[in-house]
Structure 1
Amino acid sequence: MKRLALAGLSAVAITGVAAPVFAADLPQPAEPAPYVDNYAPAARFDWSGFYAGANLGWGFGNFDNRNAPDIDANGVTGGIHAGYNIMLNPNVLAGVEADFMFSDMEDSKTVGGNTFKNSSSWNSTVRGRLGYTFDKFMVYGTGGLAIADLETKVNGNKKDKTAVGWTVGAGVEGAITQNVTARIEYDYQDYGSEKYSIGGAGYRTDFDQSLVRAGISYKF
């Protein structure tokens, strides 16, 4: 009986030792690969820095004259602009911009045998800009100093003035690439009154104009 018991214990012991060894020889399930999150949010468009570009549009001018008929003129306007932007926070932008525009704004009227002509061949502004960005899209307001060339001609005699005034406007701008943006902008410019003496007669012109223009800029 003792021999039987000993034999049984020996078999159990051998089985207990052999089972792990045998199990080790069996194919083991592969360990799952660790989870790696490869998603990275796209970087927001960076509006900050220097930029320069060109624009083209249409101007509507009003020459309110004293001692002469009022003249409304309109024409093509085009030129260059440059500026600098900084981001005040992820969405709010502040900047400064200057431009120089040529125009063919002129018209004339003949009253009582006298021909009166008003024209403006160029204008320039220095403006601040404040915008709100939606990644690659921006809406902005702008305003500042405006300067323009004004000419009054009466029966061939003329007088030129460089008028100083103010401007205010708004626009929308969007990024085409990381360096190129496009815009549409409206600006109102008011130059107040300018006095002239032509041929011994005194004249006064109040000039204001509205500009609608599209532009493209390169951001450095």
Structure 2
Amino acid sequence: MKRNKKMSLAGLIVCGTIAFWSGSLAADLLAAPFVQAPAPAPPLVSWTGGYIGGSVGSGWGTSQTDLTVGNTFIGAPVSQTVNQLIGGAADLHVPLPQVQMNGFLGGVQAGYNFQSGVLVYGVEGDFLWSGIKGRNSCFVALNCTNDTKWIADITGRVGVTVGDGGLVYIKGGAAWADSGIGINQSFAVTSNLGTGFAANGAADGRASKNIFGGTLGAGIEYAFLHGWSAKIEYDYFDFGRQDVTLPVSVAGGVNTGDGAPGPIAIGVTTPVSFKQELHTIRVGVNYHF
């Protein structure tokens, strides 16, 4: 009997001990701190907002010039147009050989974007200093030149985001450029017949005009640091046909062998029209704010 009482007492002690430790463990588990998952890292760039940056690249294109021969004015001592000289209206357009142009360019851009889901849209402006130019022989023995000093545009942009920091976009809008055309050549003629005849001189003329046209382009932009992105972009510019008046001066001298050389000085003013198309490809960096 006493033994049974001792066993019952031992059983109570064991059960009480187990219950005590179970309660303590449960309390410890309930008191364990809650660990929150780390917040996702913020994106490298927010496409909504303004940005400013710079870009460099190269450009190429063509320029086609036509002379309006009938309205060409020949200065003193002639002082008449070609039409007046031939006694008729001959507004003949003479196409000159096409000039291939190429060169480096670089400048700045700025804009503002709005983002809605994966869609990004906004407006952008570019200003590029240009070294795009070319030369070709034309009009018998003359050289024809074309060059573009600067290009500017205002465009709308629309694109879609790709992955964590990519953007593929297209753009289009209005464009302006400072474009110039020129004609130049120097010459010297000497007779081999012993007459003493010799002539030399130079022809030189240039005209420039701020021209207006349109542009279309596409590009890829990628965020590589917080607030910074890099891009590569292609653009096509079409400035249509432009009219300008080209003054050309011809100066020199003629020696017939029987006296002092006689000076030559004559001015020619001719209406011309030219059609210019350009292509550019640039790489650039933008800072977003």
Range of TM-score over shorter length:
0.7 to 0.9
The Cα shift of 1:20 comes to 5.0
1:126 alignment partner in structure 2: 154
Q: For residues 25 and 92 of structure 1, what CA distance do their matches in structure 2 show?
A: 62
Relative to structure 1, the CA distance from residue 209 to residue 25 in structure 2 (aligned partners, 3 Å threshold; closer, same or farther) is closer
Q: For residues 277 and 237 of structure 2, what CA distance do their matches in structure 1 show?
A: 6
Look up the equivalent residue of 1:169 and give its one-letter code: G
* Conserved 8 A contact 2:101-2:132: yes
More displaced 10-residue stretch of structure 1: 133-142 or 15-24? 15-24
Length, aligned pairs only: 214
Pair 1:78-2:147 in alignment: no
Pair 1:40-2:39 in alignment: yes
Q: Structure 2 matches for 1:74-153, cutoff 5 A?
A: 74-87=102-115, 89-111=116-138, 112-134=140-162, 135-153=164-182
RMSD: 2.6
SS of 1:46's equivalent in the other structure is: coil
1:214 alignment partner in structure 2: 283
Q: Normalising by the residue count of structure 2, what TM-score does the alignment of the two structures yield?
A: 0.66
SS of 1:40's equivalent in the other structure is: coil
1:158 alignment partner in structure 2: 206
1:203 alignment partner in structure 2: 272
Look up the equivalent residue of 2:283 and give its one-letter code: A
Look up the equivalent residue of 2:54 and give its one-letter code: A
The alignment-based identity, stated in percent, is 30
2:65 alignment partner in structure 1: 65
2:86 alignment partner in structure 1: none
Q: For residues 170 and 25 of structure 1, what CA distance do their matches in structure 2 show?
A: 74
Q: For residues 11 and 61 of structure 2, what CA distance do their matches in structure 1 show?
A: 103
Residue 25 of structure 2 is aligned with which of 15, 23, 30? 30
The Cα shift of 1:11 comes to 7.8
Q: For residues 47 and 113 of structure 1, what CA distance do their matches in structure 2 show?
A: 56
* Conserved 8 A contact 2:149-2:179: yes
1:175 alignment partner in structure 2: 223
More displaced 10-residue stretch of structure 1: 25-34 or 125-134? 25-34
The Cα shift of 1:35 comes to 6.3
Q: Which runs of 5+ in 2 are unaligned?
A: 68-95, 185-203, 247-267
Write the deviation string for residues 86-115 of structure 1: whole angstroms up to 9, x where unpaired: 11x221101111011011111222331222
The Cα shift of 1:39 comes to 4.4
SS of 1:176's equivalent in the other structure is: strand
Relative to structure 1, the CA distance from residue 22 to residue 55 in structure 2 (aligned partners, 3 Å threshold; closer, same or farther) is closer
Write the deviation string for residues 145-165 of structure 1: whole angstroms up to 9, x where unpaired: 100011111232111111000
